[in-house]
Amino acid sequence: MKIQYVFLGVLALAVIAFVYRIVRYKGFKAALFGARILSTVGEVPTRERGLGLSCLSMRVHVLEEKGGRGTAVGLEVVSTGAARPYILTMILGCEQARDLEKLLSRALQYAAQ
């Protein structure tokens, strides 16, 4: 069998799997998280531009955990710009989200001095 057919077959399987995730979780971003987005809490733009004059922002989502066992927090870092747009997603459990809240609060207290 030719290597091109093997490559095309693997590529086709990857595309089919991602399209399935988009349909299953009802959206492109939800497919990136691997969980349904219940609501978008808000967005915080960064203070300065990133490299390549792209604008960075962080969006916070409430996600449904797999199997509907509860909720989680989804963080989405978005870079928009002509140079290289990208999306980075992170999922935090409730305990991890509380730890992040404490760290941000401590950093804010330090920065306010």
Dihedral of CA atoms 21, 79, 57, 59 in degrees, nearest 10, equals: 0
Report whether 81 contacts 54 (CB < 8 A).
yes
Dihedral of CA atoms 97, 22, 36, 95 in degrees, nearest 10, equals: -20
Say whether 45 sits in a helix, a strand or coil: strand
Is the pLDDT confidence value at 106 over 70? yes
pLDDT value, residue 73:
94
Report whether 50 contacts 26 (CB < 8 A).
no
pLDDT value, residue 113:
81
Residue, of 18 and 49, whose pLDDT is higher: 18
Burial level of 2, CB count in 10 A (0-12/13-18/19+)? exposed
Is the pLDDT confidence value at 9 over 60? yes
Confidence of residue 112 (pLDDT cuts 50, 70, 90): confident
Mean of pLDDT values over 8-12? 92
pLDDT value, residue 25:
87
Give the integer Cα–Cα distance in Å for 71 and 109: 29
Give the integer Cα–Cα distance in Å for 45 and 55: 8
* pTM of model > 0.85: no
